[in-house]
Amino acid sequence: MGAIYLIRHGQASFGAANYDQLADLGHQQSRALGEALRPRITRVDGVVTGTLQRHQATAASCQSAMGLSLTPQVHAGFNEFDHEEVIERAEPRYADKLVMMSDMAASGSPRRAFQQFFEKAVQRWMGGQHDADYRETWPAFKLRCHAALDDVVQQSQQQASNGTTLVFTSGGFIAIAAQRLLGIPDEHAFTLNWTLVNAGVTKLVVGSQGPRLLSVNEHAHFEGQHAALLTYR
């Protein structure tokens, strides 16, 4: 059977002008992941990333630590939903990031305040009552993720037996993949997303009957000496 490793990107630059670039910690997480995967995976047949900077930087740091230098296939289907649009439609004032950061800072716990606000913004997006507000609706996002998953599964089935593909993506995609394979209803899909760690691993095995979910959100590489690297956002 083939294997597909769905890897969430390392920590991005929360609060920076360019959120999409990896934070220094994100690079450390990606290298720690690569060091953990190097003895575990004897052969990698393909590397796939979304088009986002944080996907590609995570792939580069992870591959370097694994001793690999494969040219990634870039596939926009693995991109995250537009979180900035989701935020701004829920609170138009937050089109100005300085306003948003000021509001979050006033709470005394900016990351927690942002998480609480963002969960409500995502619920609005998923609810279906405001679809006209969004360039990509929740149903459209799901269909895009399903199509991308089908593409990488088909590629895996065409590889030699026991082929392995590393896919560097985002939490939204991983949540949708798990939802599809486990039959999770929409209202619970993002409950999983909120638990996914940066540079965590979700593993699929692929046989003639298609993909099966083997593990979700593996992050033992952030235990012990690397415990300080564990983050969720």
Q: How many domains does the chain have?
A: 2
pTM of the model: 0.93
What is the residue-level pLDDT of the chain in tens, covering all 233 positions? 899 999 999 998 766 667 788 999 999 999 999 999 999 998 999 999 999 999 999 999 999 999 999 999 999 999 999 999 999 999 999 999 889 989 999 988 888 899 899 999 999 999 999 999 999 999 999 999 999 999 999 999 887 767 899 999 999 999 999 999 999 998 888 889 889 999 999 999 998 888 999 999 999 999 999 999 999 88
Domain boundaries, position 37? 2-81+137-229
Are 127 and 148 contained in the same domain? no
Q: What is the CATH number of the domain that holds 63?
A: 3.40.50.1240
- Which tokens hold the place of 207? 């046989």
Cα separation, 55 vs 47, whole angstroms: 11
The partner residues of 215 in beta bridges, in order of sequence, read 203
Conformation bin of residue 224: beta by default, left when phi > 0, alpha when psi is -120 to 50: left
DSSP 3-state assignment of 208? Answer: coil
Are 30 and 96 contained in the same domain? no
Are 178 and 105 contained in the same domain? no
Are 121 and 144 contained in the same domain? no
Are 66 and 147 contained in the same domain? yes
